[in-house]
Amino acid sequence: MLDINLLRNDPEKVRENIRKKFQEEKLPMVDEVIAMDREYREAQQQADGLRNKRKTLSKQIGGLLAQKKTEEAEAVKAEVAAAAEQLAQLEQKEEELKAEIRKRMLVIPNIIDDSVPIGRDDSENVELERFGEPTVPEWEIPYHVDIMERLHGIELDPARETSGNGFYYLTGDIARLHSAILSYARDFMIDRGFTYVIPPFMIHGNVVSGVMSFAEMENMMYKIEGEDLYLIGTSEHSMIGKFINTILDEEKLPQTLTSYSPCFRKEVGAHGIEERGVYRIHQFEKQEMIVICKPEDSPMWFDRLWQNTVDFFRTLDIPVRTLECCSGDLADLKVKSLDVEAWSPRQKKYFEVGSCSNLGDAQARRLQIRVKAKDGSKYLAHTLNNTCVAPPRMLIAFLENNLREDGSVAIPAPLRMYMGGKDCIR
């Protein structure tokens, strides 16, 4: 959410940013907010005047009664009552205008970084760099579910009976591999100085609206019926929510955290849920990175976060590339975002396995996450998040890149201690 002062002082900057994101339908909101804000401040000024008047009149009543001027006192009481009635109307108007302003401010997009390429959608994202050599073996690589089934590692039909499409049972060595990847990711991030956290897997509605846009919320979140609770779509939601309404000492920044959680997503939209695959599903697990820092440090942390993901995948010999997300592909709260994509030798192309985002002070403004400087002044923190690894999607890249011609799957050295010393799955 933007600072209201930006709309007051430089509305054209906000309009230009909306155009860069190809959301012209939101342009009228800028003028609506400016008009409502002006009306809100006028009502606020009138209300303050009435409060002062009421205070002055109340003092007069006491003096008049002391002088036994009952009639004059009653007349002043009537003035106070009229002022109170008018004040109540103004306060109601203030609350209504405040709610309407916030409603619009929540959907006006955050100001994107100047370095973000301009484009309408993900087809216009820009490749930055490749890490590792993408190869295609001479033998045919089966579909990832076929690889898992041959290794007795996945059961989809029972999951459809119990839960429907978008769910699965992982079994045997594939289930163990899934857990091994997460355990390795946990230790990988701890070794990089991040504090390991297991957060709540459900959060209140005010936290949901604080960490994401309404469009994302509608398409992603599962709500618990009859309760003010939502299942998290990523641990970023509860990890950023951890700092709601807090004032952090500047010397305690940055907060660098890595969190494990299951993730639950509706996956509403054009992509849909695959009938057999585990690429886009309703339930998965993830190791995440979260940083709360000073505004001037967020660009540096953005680069460090995505590099962690690249380094993690390269330790497992999986080729990856980085893509700069264009303006039209950025969620409304994001200042800048970069996707990490892994190589698929079966499809002969890269596919997304992680996303790194700098949200500036947007989440901090919504959730009131502030920092106390040494001089006692307070300012909003910057928040960032990034995926370290999210199996089972990562399993697709892992299995395809480590499959041998005889159908076995090689286990890279970093994972063997989590796999009971195994160097392959047969």
| In-domain check, residue 20 | yes
Identify the helix (H) or strand (E) that includes residue 223. Answer: strand 222-223
Q: Are 50 and 35 in contact (CB under 8 A)?
A: no
Residue 208 in contact with residue 221, Cβ under 8 Å? yes
Alpha-carbon dihedral sign for residues 389, 394, 398, 399: positive
> Tens of pLDDT along 365-401?
999 999 999 999 999 999 999 999 999 889 999 999 9
Domain end position, chosen among 105, 139, 158 = 105
Residue 10 maps to which CATH number? 1.10.287.40
Residue 22 maps to a domain: yes
Instruction: Please check whether residues 346 and 283 belong to one and the same domain.
Output: yes
Say what the pLDDT of residue 270 is.
46
Residues 97 and 138 in one domain: no
Q: How do the pLDDT tens digits run along the chain, 426 residues long?
A: 899 999 999 999 999 999 999 999 999 999 999 999 999 999 988 988 888 887 777 777 777 777 777 777 777 778 778 878 888 888 899 999 999 999 999 999 999 999 999 999 999 999 999 999 999 999 999 999 999 999 999 999 999 999 998 899 999 999 999 999 999 999 999 999 999 999 999 999 999 999 987 777 777 899 999 999 999 999 999 999 999 999 999 999 999 999 999 999 987 554 556 667 888 889 999 999 999 999 999 999 999 999 999 999 999 999 999 999 999 999 999 999 999 999 999 999 999 999 999 999 999 999 999 999 999 999 999 999 999 999 988 999 999 999 999 999 999 999 999 999 999 999
Looking at the structure, tell me whether residues 318 and 172 fall in a common domain.
yes
> Is residue 139 domain-shared with residue 257, that is, in the same domain?
yes
**What distance in Å separates the CA atoms of residue 381 and residue 255, rounded to the nearest whole number?**
11
- 310-358 confidence digits (pLDDT tens): 999 999 999 999 999 999 999 999 999 999 999 999 999 999 999 999 9
Query: Is residue 84 a part of any domain in this protein?
Result: yes
Does residue 81 sit in the same domain as residue 182? no
Helix residue ranges, H only, 279-412? 298-315, 362-367, 393-402
Query: 191: which residues sit within 8 A by CB, 6+ positions away?
Result: none
224 & 344 share domain: yes
Range of the domain at 226: 122-425
Residue 354 lies in a domain: yes
Nearest to 367 by CA among 261, 286, 270, 292: 292
Is the residue at 299 inside a domain? yes
The domain that contains 277 carries what CATH number?
3.30.930.10
CA atoms within 13 A on the CB side of 126: 12
CA distance linking residue 421 with residue 411, whole number of Å? 9
236 and 174 co-located in one domain: yes
Tell which of 70, 105, 140 closes a domain. Answer: 105
Q: Which of 77, 105, 133 is the last residue of a domain?
A: 105
Looking at the fold, whether 212 and 349 belong to one and the same domain comes out as yes
Contact 201, 261 (CB under 8 A): yes
User: What angle is formed at CA 267 by the lines to CA 353 and CA 163, rounded to 5 degrees?
Assistant: 105
Neighbouring-strand partners of residue 196: 258
- Total domains in the chain come to 2
**Shared-domain flag, residues 294 and 342:** yes
Domain assignment present for 111: no
- Smallest CA-to-CA distance from 112 within 220, 2, 211 is with 2
Torsion of CA 112, 115, 120, 124, to 10 degrees: -150
